[in-house]
């Protein structure tokens, strides 16, 4: 009893398992939301927090005019304190001694391979039904593990990250707040975590890391910082997550990493006040984002910075001067000296003595810039300088060429267009123009009202961040065009097929000018990114980009969309689009409950909305209306598409609720899209896109796209980008696992027709096969097995095992103890079932082998063993490495080879025992050794050995008799005695014997290469019929091979041993 209590106390008692019982909440009047801003374990601690709030925050609240401003200020201040506290407490939390103890417990309890990297651990409760088990949660690179020991009851849980279907924070009546994990249909709940949000974020990051690394390699290869699984740390994951969030928010290139964050105030000249926010510094960019609800942010490329000055050391302020008569003044900057030095070093501004000598002059120039900016905002302009484009590519937007604006045209639409341009020019004069423009709420309001035709390309480049890609890669696109010119791949074939389907009604794509530009952009991108290559819908999107942007700009816009703004959309499995459809379904449940009540199956909306996401509504809306949607997309990202989708469904709510079936709902939506117009569009009717649906709109009122977008922002603009990203991560797990499950079901459906395994057994075998594939990837930075997984291949070939992987799994599942991972028998089996000799075995081939060994007849099992000792299984090099290996994922697919292989499989006839070649002396000796090894350890081992010895001696005597009967034969006929003996002993096989000398000669040809060897002694052989007939006379051997195998038990043992076997290697 004492030992039970000690073990229980060891796993339960820990100060970190307590949840703080006291909290201080902040409440905004007329709001139902309460913000937790402080917590404490004791009354004394919470009162200390209260005193601090009174002294440091409450006294300053009187300067604010509205309760919303107070809430924004308090939130920003508390978040800043938490961030600072996190920096100082990080070292204390990661106590090396405690972590070392936790690592030892982790290794002892779970017996995982030594290479498995423990990232962090937490004290928590795991719920088994309605009973909580207090214990420890360990998060490692590849596994989530839990251990509890309560009064003799041990609970041990090991879950691979790649097996998780759902990972989310939940709450219910019993569990106020917990983490829910769904794995293979089983629910797991973890609660009583002191740092639940932190724990969840780390779990989310590890799951996302595993998914990218093992399933979604296209995304993973773009993140070299996480390529080595042995170097993953909690701090590294946090830094990577922050960098990813930083890049997403500011639309920066994927190479940028968040290096420094400083809280400060920025003087906003157009509002004449200091806004609180954070300075974010990366390798090549200085960014600022407000935290007071003003939604103001600015991006300064380091290439634009000309000087950094500190006006007054006592004020903790600094001024950043940029090209184009611009200056930004930051104040109350913690660590301003370090920030100034960092900016200088990255801009190449040297704080040398000669630089210091002229500092007063430069300071005066900066101050004059600030004063000039304050007094004359209309003079502020900043345009990004670009190198002259190559003459090989188009230097004008197609809309400029095919629809030049008539400056003398003063019709109402052109007048409204001029008014829009004037509004934007005023905006530019106040907020700046180009890369260092301030982004504010007013910017979004102008976007919602519509972007002028003349400014559309420029603003798309700015909002997407493509302007920075293009500025930092001069000449890149021209080089790509030249390199990709004349290449022939599957992608180029698909591009050629779709060129004339891209906005065919637009004059620009009825001419060679537009078609050639489209071809160059798509081919160059396919050459740049062969993992994506070309995907349908890219042609439609690129066509619209070319209308408003120059050719090189359209290329960089396509890069921004495919690689940053819509990740994983344009690949074989369109994972990104499926994930956003799942996010869309969640939003429908939250915002359109009436529709959910009527249509319980929301998968209909997923199928209908796929084209909305893939083409940004371009394929369903007239072009003059669709470009307004693209405007919003480049500013707000996928959030704009989700908002508009909700607005479309909301607008048609009544009709959708009353419809009887899906077809009627599709018709309703198509009619609605046909009715959407852009009353302000200055484009002539020859350029506008004709409706693709029914032109009879008498029963439908026209809907203006600007009004629809405005309504979408008014009703659903409160959807936060952070919520969308969180929902994306949550749904990505489910989407990928659903695709994987579909692959599994299709593979099982194909294999089950040709084997005797049940569906449940095949399911278990597939899970083991797939897990073995991943086990070789878990602890290796560049595992060859990762290259074997190609989701674009046929279902059967998506997961394949090399020899090392196969030998381990085969040793766990083989019915005989002799078949260990290092035995030559595993090598021969691998060679035998690898029919195309590419060094890889797929699931179907693996199942065929096991099915024969588990459920085959005595004859089939013996035939399988017999073939293991014939070429190609027995004759290949002993290292098991097959040099012939297919090149995957690149170049043009040889369709003829695939068709020929398919035809051969159809015409392939079932092999009979008469088709088997004869076995020569060396092969027969090895065959006998194999039988001895298989019987080793069996209870009837002695009788089985005697039976094999008897059969062997019998066959040898038969061969000796045959040889003596044919001794007078001439040397050229030396191959005949064995066959004649076989004919005398086995009368029913005389026909086969007369046809086998040729095959016998082939199979033993390598033994005749030695000139000094007596052919009459070496060239003897046995047919399969002879071996079969002899073994059938031994009931002990027959009963051994016909002994049934408990498949379920075998699978269960293999699941348990699979990890341990890897750990013990």
Taking residues 245-273, what's their average pLDDT?
88
- 725-767 pLDDT per residue, tens: 989 989 999 999 999 899 899 999 999 988 999 999 999 999 9
Cβ proximity of 409 and 415 under 8 Å = no
Residue 298 three-state SS: strand
Taking residues 553-569, what's their average pLDDT?
92
CB-based burial, 112-145: b 16+ in 10 Å, e otherwise: bbeebbbbbbbbbbbbeeeebbbbbbbbbbbbbb
- 290-327 pLDDT per residue, tens: 986 667 899 999 999 998 887 766 678 888 998 877 88
Cβ proximity of 800 and 845 under 8 Å = no
The pLDDT, as a whole number, for residue 598 is 82
Look up tokens 């004449």; give the residue: 272
Among 978, 1006, 1008, 1005, which residue's Cα sits nearest to residue 994?
A: 978
Element (H, E) at 780: none
Look up tokens 């999107």; give the residue: 541
Alpha helices in 919-968 (DSSP H): 921-935, 941-965
pLDDT confidence tier of residue 14, bands split at 50, 70 and 90: very low
DSSP 720: -
The pLDDT, as a whole number, for residue 471 is 92
Is pLDDT larger for residue 485 or for residue 1005? 485
Is pLDDT larger for residue 162 or for residue 399? 162
Q: Which sign does the torsion angle of CA 539, 542, 544, 550 carry?
A: negative
Q: Which residues, at least 6 apart from 451, have a Cβ–Cβ distance to it below 8 Å?
A: 420, 424, 459, 628, 631
pLDDT at 802 over 50: yes
The pLDDT, as a whole number, for residue 358 is 42
- 1023-1063 pLDDT per residue, tens: 898 899 999 999 999 999 999 999 999 999 898 888 765 54
The pLDDT, as a whole number, for residue 502 is 84
E-strand stretches of 86-185: 118-128, 131-140, 143-150, 153-160, 164-170, 178-183
Angstrom distance (rounded) from CA 719 to CA 194: 29
Among 238, 257, 219, which residue's Cα sits nearest to residue 564?
A: 219
Is pLDDT larger for residue 234 or for residue 689? 234
Angstrom distance (rounded) from CA 768 to CA 1043: 24
The pLDDT, as a whole number, for residue 793 is 67
Is pLDDT larger for residue 96 or for residue 652? 652
* Conformation bin of residue 321: beta by default, left when phi > 0, alpha when psi is -120 to 50: beta
- 924-981 pLDDT per residue, tens: 888 898 888 888 888 888 998 999 899 988 888 887 776 676 665 444 443 433 333 3
Angstrom distance (rounded) from CA 785 to CA 109: 29
Is pLDDT larger for residue 726 or for residue 355? 726
Tokens linked to 75: 């939130």
Is pLDDT larger for residue 695 or for residue 580? 580
Among 983, 975, 1031, 995, which residue's Cα sits nearest to residue 915?
A: 995
Burial class (CB in 10 A: 0-12, 13-18, 19+), 30: exposed
Alpha helices in 285-381 (DSSP H): 336-347, 353-357, 359-375
The pLDDT, as a whole number, for residue 481 is 93
Least confident stretch, 134-148, 453-467, 602-616, 1016-1030:
1016-1030
Bridge partners (DSSP) of residue 309 are 319
DSSP 690: P
The pLDDT, as a whole number, for residue 648 is 95
Long-range contacts of 840-843 (CB under 8 A, 24+ apart): 840/788, 840/800, 840/801, 840/802, 840/885, 841/800, 841/801, 841/806, 842/796, 842/797, 842/799, 842/800, 843/747, 843/751, 843/765, 843/766, 843/769, 843/796, 843/799
Report how many helices (DSSP H) and strands (DSSP E) the chain contains, helices first.
45, 22
Tokens linked to 79: 């978040």
pLDDT at 106 over 90: yes
pLDDT confidence tier of residue 1015, bands split at 50, 70 and 90: very low
How high is the mean pLDDT of the chain? 79
The pLDDT, as a whole number, for residue 188 is 93
Taking residues 627-642, what's their average pLDDT?
94
The pLDDT, as a whole number, for residue 707 is 93
């Amino acid at each position: 009893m004492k030992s039970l209590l000690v073990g229980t106390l060891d796993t339960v008692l820990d100060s970190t398992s307590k949840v703080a019982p006291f909290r201080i909440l902040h409440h905004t009047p007329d709001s139902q939301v309460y913000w937790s801003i402080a917590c404490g374990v004791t009354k004394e601690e919470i009162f200390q927090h209260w005193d601090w709030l009174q002294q440091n925050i409450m006294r300053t609240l009187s300067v604010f005019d509205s309760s919303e401003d107070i809430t924004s200020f308090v939130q920003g201040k508390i978040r800043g304190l938490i961030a600072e506290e996190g920096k100082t407490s990080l070292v204390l939390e990661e106590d090396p001694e405690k972590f070392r103890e936790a690592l030892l417990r982790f290794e002892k309890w779970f017996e995982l391979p030594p290479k498995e990297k423990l990232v962090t651990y937490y004290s928590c409760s795991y719920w088994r039904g309605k009973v909580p088990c207090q214990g420890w949660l360990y998060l490692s690179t590849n596994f989530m593990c839990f251990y509890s020991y309560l009064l003799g009851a041990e609970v041990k849980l090991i879950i691979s990250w790649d097996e998780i279907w759902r990972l989310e924070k939940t709450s219910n009546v019993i569990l106020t707040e917990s983490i829910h994990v769904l794995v293979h249909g089983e629910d797991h709940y973890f609660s009583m975590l002191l740092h639940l949000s932190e724990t969840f974020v780390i779990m989310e990051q590890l799951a996302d890391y595993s998914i990218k690394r093992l399933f979604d390699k296209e995304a993973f290869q773009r993140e070299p910082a996480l390529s080595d699984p042995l170097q993953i740390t909690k701090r590294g994951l946090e830094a990577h997550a922050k960098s990813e969030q930083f890049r997403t928010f500011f639309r920066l290139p994927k190479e940028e990493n968040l290096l420094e964050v400083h809280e400060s105030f920025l003087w906003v000249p157009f509002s004449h006040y200091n806004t609180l926010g954070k300075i974010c510094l990366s390798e090549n960019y200085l960014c600022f984002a407000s935290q007071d609800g003003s939604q103001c942010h600015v991006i300064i490329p380091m290439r634009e910075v000309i000087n950094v000055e500190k006006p007054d050391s006592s004020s903790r302020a600094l001024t950043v001067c940029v090209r184009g008569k611009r200056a930004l003044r930051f104040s109350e900057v913690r660590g301003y000296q370090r920030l100034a030095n960092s900016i200088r070093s990255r801009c190449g501004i040297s704080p040398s003595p000669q630089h210091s000598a002229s500092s007063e002059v430069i300071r005066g120039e900066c101050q004059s810039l600030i004063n000039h900016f304050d007094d004359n905002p209309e003079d502020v302009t900043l345009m990004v300088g670009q190198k002259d484009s190559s003459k090989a590519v188009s230097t004008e937007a197609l809309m400029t060429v095919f629809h030049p604006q008539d400056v003398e045209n003063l019709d109402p639409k052109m007048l409204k267009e001029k008014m829009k341009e004037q509004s934007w020019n005023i905006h530019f004069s106040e907020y700046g123009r180009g890369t260092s423009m301030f982004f504010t709420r007013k910017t979004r309001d102008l976007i919602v009202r519509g972007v002028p035709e003349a400014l559309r390309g420029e603003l798309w480049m700015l909002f997407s961040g493509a302007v920075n890609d293009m500025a930092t890669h001069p000449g890149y696109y021209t080089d790509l065009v030249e390199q990709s010119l004349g290449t022939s791949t599957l992608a180029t074939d698909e591009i050629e097929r779709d060129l004339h389907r891209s906005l065919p009604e637009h004059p620009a794509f009825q001419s060679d000018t537009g078609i050639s530009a489209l071809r160059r952009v798509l081919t160059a991108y396919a050459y740049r990114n062969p993992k994506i290559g070309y995907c349908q819908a890219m042609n439609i999107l690129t066509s619209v980009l070319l209308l408003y942007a120059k050719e090189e700009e359209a290329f960089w816009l396509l890069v921004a969309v495919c690689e940053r703004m819509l990740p994983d959309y344009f690949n074989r499995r369109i994972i990104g689009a499926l994930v956003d459809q799942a996010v869309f379904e969640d939003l429908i449940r939250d915002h359109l409950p009436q529709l959910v009540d009527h249509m319980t199956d929301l998968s209909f909306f997923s199928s209908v909305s796929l084209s909305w996401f893939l083409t940004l509504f371009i394929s369903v809306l007239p072009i003059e209306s669709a470009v307004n949607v693209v405007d919003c997309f480049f500013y707000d990202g996928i959030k704009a598409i989700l908002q508009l989708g909700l607005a479309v469904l909301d607008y048609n709510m009544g009709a959708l609720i009353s419809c009887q079936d899906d077809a009627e709902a599709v018709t309703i939506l198509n009619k609605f899209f046909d009715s959407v117009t852009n009353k302000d569009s200055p484009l002539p009717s020859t350029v506008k896109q004709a409706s693709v649906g029914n032109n009879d709109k008498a029963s439908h009122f026209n809907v203006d796209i600007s009004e629809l977008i405005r309504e979408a922002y008014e009703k659903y603009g409160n959807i936060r980008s952070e919520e969308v990203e969180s929902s994306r991560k949550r749904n990505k797990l489910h989407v990928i696992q659903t695709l994987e499950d579909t692959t599994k079901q299709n593979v099982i459906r194909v294999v089950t027709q040709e084997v005797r395994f049940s569906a449940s057994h095949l399911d278990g075998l597939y899970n083991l096969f797939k897990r073995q594939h991943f086990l070789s990837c878990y602890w290796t930075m560049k595992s060859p097995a990762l290259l074997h997984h190609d989701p674009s291949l046929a279902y059967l070939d998506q997961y394949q095992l090399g020899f090392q992987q196969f030998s381990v799994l085969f040793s766990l599942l083989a019915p005989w103890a002799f078949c260990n991972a290092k035995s030559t028998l595993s090598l021969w089996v691998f060679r035998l079932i690898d029919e195309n000799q590419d060094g890889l075995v797929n699931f179907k081939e693996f199942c065929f082998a096991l099915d024969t060994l588990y459920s085959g007849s005595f004859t089939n099992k013996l035939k399988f063993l017999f073939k293991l000792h014939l070429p190609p299984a027995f004759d290949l090099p002993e290292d098991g490495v097959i040099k012939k290996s297919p090149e995957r994922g690149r170049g043009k697919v040889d369709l003829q080879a695939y068709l020929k292989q398919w035809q051969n499989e159809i015409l392939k006839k079932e092999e009979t025992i008469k088709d088997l070649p004869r076995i020569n002396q060396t092969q027969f000796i090895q065959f006998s050794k194999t039988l001895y090894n298989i019987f080793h350890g069996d209870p009837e081992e002695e009788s089985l050995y005697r039976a094999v010895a008897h059969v062997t001696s019998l066959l040898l005597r038969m061969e000796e008799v045959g040889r003596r009967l044919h001794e007078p034969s001439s040397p050229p006929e030396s191959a005949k005695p064995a066959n004649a003996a076989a004919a005398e002993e086995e009368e029913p096989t005389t026909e086969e014997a007369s046809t086998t000398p040729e095959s016998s000669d082939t199979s033993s040809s390598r033994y005749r290469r030695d000139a000094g060897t007596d052919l009459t002694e070496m060239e003897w052989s046995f047919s399969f019929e002879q071996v079969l007939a002899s073994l059938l006379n031994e009931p002990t051997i027959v009963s051994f091979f016909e002994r049934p195998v408990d498949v379920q038990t075998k699978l269960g043992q293999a699941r348990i041993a699979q990890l341990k076997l890897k750990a013990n290697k």
